[in-house]
């Protein structure tokens, strides 16, 4: 079953063609990687999938629902969440608050209840806090729950981003360079974490430059170059594909 | 004399703080100086006169004064909150992605419109607030405290405590802080930004309405231009505390009220309004980020 279907999406910024009729499908429960040289349109693609940028043409379907024109907060509610290449936390909030605020879209009782602080609300607050701790544990940063996010180490901040993503209870997780700037040990741990997410039934798309990570965990790879999809296939296929080698290394003369 | 001025200062300062909160909350979320905010305060005062006048006419005031006053506060707050809500939708939302100067000019436009709207419908002369509480009060050791002063101080304190709890503890408060820190990211964790922005305007306007009503009761006189000077002073209070910072606005407001009443008593009362602006200039020269403000790097 396909969870996500991208049908010929095109994105132009003025004269720049960031994406040109890109199409692919993602199987539920799989890990897919998007690779390509800098400026290939990978992050733009993520922006389109999450509703931050509107596509110029084309359609995106998530579980048979068209999400092309939806607002970001509605797309999150349907079950797509993402991280950023350069970490974007709510820096002045505590670690646990970062995760709690991300459960916003999944919680029921409204404003009136939160002002009155009635029992339903208190019970729900308690559940949210417990769940948040669970997510922190899953990401391995439960010890820092009350620390202000800005004071976390780089690796822990990356983990917090993932905890926050899980908190929105997504079915599809988009990770933008999850191992960027990490040392080999941290990279290994991050790969383990991504595998764990897959084990929880999540579908994952990652943008990644580290070929060890890409080849190690993805089942399917899409290669973009200058906004065009130049190849798609298993890690084995991609490794041998002459077009990909050319895009990365240039033509042999 | 000193303690007397202290009490007067805290009274006025509480009012400045309530208005300053509206400035600072909107700035925190939209980075917009809402110049129309002072007019909401003015509308609050006028609505108070109108509503209380109506209650007097139907006999509710003589039946139960506290009930009439409470209802006046509630209704005036609701009206002003809906004004704030509408202003955001009409004058700022369409300009959300425009250059930063555009909503600022739009805000000044709204301010001018509201002042003239009230002047045309209510007249250009001062209106007298119904003398419901007179100037009753009590005296301890020669220090005179009126009930209205006591009420203003208590009401400001209670509202500020409520706001603090709302921002730090509730889900909507957390969402507001998240939106203030990173709008795009907030939308990506499922927060509806439009709702949060509307909520900010509703709360800020509600607080301004209460402030306007209390001042009308305190001074007894209202006219269409009171929002201008009160707005600018509250803005000064917000800058003094560090614009965007909620504790800063509370502190800045009270500090400004104290400085004003003490300097009016000990230096000269003729320059009462000038002190606020002297402070504004000094803050901008020495610590432009304000007392509680943080200098933040430009986002790249």
Residue of A70, A80, A90 to mutate when probing chain B, most B C-beta within 10 A:
A90
Q: Do B182 and A97 touch (CB under 8 A)?
A: no
Give tens-digit pLDDT for A201-245: 999 999 998 888 999 999 999 999 999 999 999 999 998 888 888
Smallest Cα–Cα separation from B37: which of B108, B117, B126?
B108
CB B137, CB B149: distance < 8 Å: yes
pLDDT of residue B140: 83
- Domain assignment of residue B22, yes or no: yes
Q: How far is CA B152 from the centre of its chain?
A: 13
- Domain assignment of residue B185, yes or no: yes
In the predicted model, is pLDDT for residue B144 greater than 90?
A: no
- Domain assignment of residue B295, yes or no: no
Q: Is B166 on the interface with A (CB under 8 A)?
A: yes
Nearest CA in chain B to A166: B189
Give tens-digit pLDDT for B17-45: 999 999 999 999 998 999 999 999 999 99
In the predicted model, is pLDDT for residue B299 greater than 50?
A: no
Find chain B residues with C-beta within 8 A of A51's C-beta.
187
pLDDT over 70, % of chain A? 94
Give tens-digit pLDDT for A182-196: 889 989 999 999 999
Rounded Cα distance, A29 and A22, in Å: 22
- Domain assignment of residue B201, yes or no: yes
pLDDT of residue B300: 42
CB A23, CB A14: distance < 8 Å: no
The nearest CA of chain A is from the CA of B147 a distance in Å of 29
Backbone phi, psi, residue B68, to 5°: -60, -40
Residue A14: exposed, middle, or buried by beta-carbon count in 10 A (0-12, 13-18, 19+)?
exposed
Q: Do A93 and B189 touch (CB under 8 A)?
A: no
Q: Do A114 and B193 touch (CB under 8 A)?
A: no
* pTM, 2 dp: 0.87
The nearest CA of chain B is from the CA of A141 a distance in Å of 19
Q: Is A52 on the interface with B (CB under 8 A)?
A: yes
Q: What is the 3-state secondary structure (H, E, C) of chain B?
A: CHHHHHHHHHHHHHHHHHHHHHHHHHHHHHCCCCCCHHHHHHHHHHHHHHHHHHHHHHCHHHHCHHHHHHHHHHHHHHHHHHHHHHHHHHHHHHHCCCCCHHHHHHHHHHHHHHHHHHHHHHCCCCEECCCCCCCCEEEECCEEEEHHHHHHHHHHHHHHHHHHHHHHHCHHHHHHHHHHHCHHHHHHCCCCHHHHHHHHHHHHHHHHHHHHHHHHHHHCEECCCHHHHHHHHHHHHHHHHCCCCHHHHHHHHHHHHHHHHHHHHHCCHHHHHHHHHHHHHHHHHHCCCCCCCCCCCCCC
pLDDT of residue A25: 94
Rounded Cα distance, B251 and B264, in Å: 20
| Look-up of token digits 């907060």 | A73
Region A20-37: mean pLDDT is 93
Backbone phi, psi, residue B20, to 5°: -60, -35
pLDDT of residue A115: 58
pLDDT of residue B106: 96
pLDDT of residue A111: 52
Rounded Cα distance, B188 and B198, in Å: 19
Rounded Cα distance, B22 and B34, in Å: 9
- Domain assignment of residue B120, yes or no: yes
Inter-residue long-range contacts of B135-144, CB under 8 Å, 24+ positions, other chains counted: B142/B4, B143/B3, B143/B4, B143/B7, B144/B4
Region A26-52: mean pLDDT is 92
Q: What is the 3-state secondary structure (H, E, C) of chain A?
A: CEEEEEEEEEEEECCEEEEEEEEEEEECCCEEEEECCCCCCHHHHHHHHCCCCCCCEEEEEECCEECCCCCHHHHHHHCEEECCCCCCCCCCCEHHHHHHHCCHHHCCCCHHHHHHCCHHHHHHHHHHHHHHHHHHHHCCCHHHCCCEHHHCCHHHHHHHHHHHHHHCCCCEEEEECCCCCCCHHHHHHHHHHHHHHHHCCCEEEEECCCHHHHHHHCCEEEEEECCEEEEEECHHHHHHCHHHHHHHHCCCC
Give tens-digit pLDDT for A96-137: 999 999 887 776 555 555 556 667 777 878 888 999 999 999
Rounded Cα distance, A85 and B300, in Å: 13
Strand partners, A2: A27
Task: Calculate helix-pair angle for B37-58, B193-219, nearest 10 degrees.
Answer: 60
Give chain A's mean pLDDT.
Answer: 89
- Which region among B44-53, B151-160, B285-294 has the lowest average model confidence (pLDDT)? B285-294
Residue B257 belongs to domain with CATH number: 1.10.3470
Integer-rounded Cα radius of gyration of chain B: 19
The nearest CA of chain B is from the CA of A46 a distance in Å of 12
Angle formed at CA B42 by CA B41 and CA B45, multiple of 5 degrees:
90
Rounded Cα distance, A45 and A51, in Å: 10
Q: Do A73 and B178 touch (CB under 8 A)?
A: no
In the predicted model, is pLDDT for residue A170 greater than 80?
A: yes
pLDDT of residue A167: 92
Please state, as a whole number, how many other Cβ atoms lie within 10 Å of the Cβ of residue B2: 9
The nearest CA of chain B is from the CA of A161 a distance in Å of 11
Give chain B's mean pLDDT.
Answer: 90
Q: Do A72 and B172 touch (CB under 8 A)?
A: no
Residue of B161, B166, B186, B190 to mutate when probing chain A, most A C-beta within 10 A:
B190
- Domain assignment of residue B292, yes or no: no
Give tens-digit pLDDT for B115-129: 999 999 999 999 988
Residue B12's domain spans which residues?
A: 2-286
Give tens-digit pLDDT for B79-104: 999 999 999 999 999 999 899 899 99
Domain count across chain B? 1
- Domain assignment of residue B168, yes or no: yes
- Domain assignment of residue B293, yes or no: no
In the predicted model, is pLDDT for residue A252 greater than 80?
A: no
pLDDT over 70, % of chain B? 97
Rounded Cα distance, B8 and B2, in Å: 10
Selecting from A50, A97, A107 the residue whose C-beta is nearest the C-beta of B188 gives A50
In the predicted model, is pLDDT for residue A29 greater than 90?
A: yes
pLDDT of residue B92: 95
Q: Is B171 on the interface with A (CB under 8 A)?
A: yes
The nearest CA of chain B is from the CA of A246 a distance in Å of 32
């Amino acid at each position: 079953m396909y969870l996500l279907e991208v049908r010929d999406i095109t994105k132009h910024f003025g004269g720049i063609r960031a994406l040109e009729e890109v199409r692919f499908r993602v199987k539920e429960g799989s890990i897919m990687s998007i690779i390509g040289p800098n400026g290939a349109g990978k992050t733009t693609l993520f922006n389109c999938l999450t509703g931050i940028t509107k596509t110029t043409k084309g359609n995106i379907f998530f579980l048979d629902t068209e999400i092309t024109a939806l607002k970001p907060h509605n797309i999150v509610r349907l079950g797509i969440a993402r991280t950023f290449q350069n970490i974007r936390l709510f820096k002045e909030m505590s670690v646990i608050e970062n995760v709690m605020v991300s459960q916003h879209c999944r919680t029921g009782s409204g404003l009136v209840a939160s002002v009155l602080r009635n029992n339903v609300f208190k019970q729900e607050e308690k559940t949210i806090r417990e769940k948040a701790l669970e997510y922190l544990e899953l990401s391995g940063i439960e010890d820092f729950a009350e620390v202000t996010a800005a004071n976390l180490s780089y690796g822990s901040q990356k983990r917090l981003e993932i905890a926050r993503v899980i908190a929105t209870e997504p079915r599809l997780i988009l990770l933008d360079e999850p191992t960027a700037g990490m040392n080999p040990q941290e990279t290994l741990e991050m790969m383990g974490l991504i595998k764990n997410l897959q084990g929880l039934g999540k579908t994952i798309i990652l943008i990644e430059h580290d070929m060890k990570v890409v080849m190690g965990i993805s089942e399917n790879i899409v290669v973009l170059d200058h906004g065009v999809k130049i190849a798609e296939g298993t890690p084995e296929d991609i490794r041998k594909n002459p077009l990909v080698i050319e895009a990365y290394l240039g033509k042999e003369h | 004399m000193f303690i007397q001025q202290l009490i007067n200062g805290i009274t006025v300062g509480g009012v400045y703080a309530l208005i300053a909160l509206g400035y600072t909350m909107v700035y925190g979320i939209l980075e917009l100086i809402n110049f129309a905010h002072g007019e909401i305060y003015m509308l609050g005062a006028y609505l108070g006169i109108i509503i209380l006048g109506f209650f007097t006419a139907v006999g509710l005031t003589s039946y139960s004064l506290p009930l009439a006053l409470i209802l006046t506060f509630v209704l005036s707050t609701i009206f002003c909150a809906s004004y704030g809500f509408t202003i955001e939708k009409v004058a700022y939302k369409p300009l959300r992605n425009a250059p930063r100067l555009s909503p600022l000019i739009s805000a000044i436009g709204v301010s001018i419109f509201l002042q003239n709207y009230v002047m045309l419908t209510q007249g250009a002369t001062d209106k007298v607030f119904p003398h419901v509480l007179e100037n009753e009060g009590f005296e301890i050791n020669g220090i005179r405290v009126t009930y209205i002063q006591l009420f203003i101080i208590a009401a400001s304190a209670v509202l500020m405590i409520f706001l603090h709890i709302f921002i730090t503890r509730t889900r909507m408060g957390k969402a507001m802080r998240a939106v203030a820190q990173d709008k795009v990211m907030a939308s990506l964790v499922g927060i509806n930004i439009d709702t949060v922005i509307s909520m900010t305007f509703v709360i800020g306007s509600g607080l301004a309405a209460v402030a306007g009503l209390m001042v009308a009761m305190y001074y007894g006189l209202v006219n269409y231009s009171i929002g201008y000077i009160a707005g600018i002073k509250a803005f000064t209070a917000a800058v003094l505390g560090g614009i965007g910072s909620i504790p800063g606005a509370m502190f800045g407001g009270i500090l400004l009220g104290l400085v004003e009443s003490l300097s009016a008593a000990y230096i000269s009362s003729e320059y009462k309004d000038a002190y606020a602006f002297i402070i504004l200039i000094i803050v901008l020269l020495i610590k432009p980020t304000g007392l509680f403000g943080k200098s933040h790097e430009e986002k790249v």
